[in-house]
């Protein structure tokens, strides 16, 4: 069950900043701890930049979620880019096709509680992450 879905385009550098700010605002509203806010905003920054740089742009969707025990935040990053051919490789620390550090994807996975990738070559990539309050 979820409410308050907010969508942002991820098409420019400035949009990546806006995603960080929106995620921070919602993380504060959901009362994540300061360290967990920092982890989630950092993960969102990595994934939004990947959406922009590799996915050719896309969209981020931020929503408050809750199960019977806890509140949390879900963020979905979606693009219609080239997709990721070898997921295991892409999730390896240090693997990059763009001259980065290759830490964005693998690092973001470590920083959240739930991490799911759907990707198909030629169709695009959708990454869903969730962070729960402790």
Partner 1 sequence: MERVPVLKIGEILLVSIQIDMEDQVALQLQEDLAERIVATGVRGVIIDISALDIVDSFVGRTLATIASVSRVLDAETVVVGMRPAVAITLVELGLSLPGIRTALNVDLGIAMLARQDEDIDLLGYEDDTDQVAETTP
Ligand X SMILES: Nc1ncnc2c1ncn2[C@@H]1O[C@H](COP(=O)(O)OP(=O)(O)OP(=O)(O)O)[C@@H](O)[C@H]1O
b/e string for 46-61 if b means 16 or more Cβ within 10 A?
bbbbbbbebbeebbbe
Report the partner that residue 28 touches, choosing among Mg ion, partner 1, ligand X, none (CB closer than 5 to 8 A by kind).
none
- How far, in Å, are 1, 29, 44, 56 from residue 59 at the CA level? 21, 22, 12, 11
Interaction pattern, residues 65-104, with partner 1; x per rule: CB under 8 A: ----------------------------x------xx-xx
Q: How many whole angstroms separate alpha carbon 52 and alpha carbon 11?
A: 6
Phi, psi of 97, rounded to the nearest 5 degrees:
-110, 0
Q: Please choose, out of 42-50, 63-71, 86-94, 120-128, the segment that lies near Mg ion by the rule CB under 5 A.
A: 42-50
In the complex with ligand X, the residue whose CB is nearer, 70 or 98, is 98
Which residues have a Cβ under 8 Å from the Cβ of 129 and sit 6 or more positions away?
A: 40, 43, 44, 47, 74, 75, 108, 112, 114, 115, 116
Is position 111 an interface residue for partner 1 (rule: CB under 8 A)? yes
Nearer to ligand X, 71 or 118 (CB): 118
- Identify which of residues 66 and 107 has a Cβ nearer to partner 1 in the complex: 107
Using CB under 8 A as the criterion, which residues of the chain lie in contact with partner 1 when the complex forms? 13-14, 16-17, 20-21, 24, 34-35, 37-39, 41-42, 45-46, 49, 93, 100-101, 103-104, 106-108, 110-111
């Amino acid at each position: 069950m979820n409410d308050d879905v907010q969508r942002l385009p991820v098409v420019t550098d400035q949009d990546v900043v806006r995603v960080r700010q929106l995620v921070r605002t919602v993380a504060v509203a959901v009362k994540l701890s300061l360290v967990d806010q920092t982890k989630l905003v950092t993960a969102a920054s990595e994934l939004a930049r990947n959406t922009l740089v590799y996915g050719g742009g896309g969209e981020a969707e931020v929503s408050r979620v809750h199960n019977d025990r806890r509140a949390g935040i879900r963020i979905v990053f979606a693009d219609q880019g080239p997709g990721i051919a070898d997921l295991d490789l892409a999730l390896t620390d240090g693997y990059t096709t763009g001259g980065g550090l290759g830490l964005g994807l693998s690092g973001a996975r470590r920083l959240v509680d739930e991490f799911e990738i759907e990707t198909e070559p030629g169709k695009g990539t959708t990454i869903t992450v969730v962070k729960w309050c402790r």
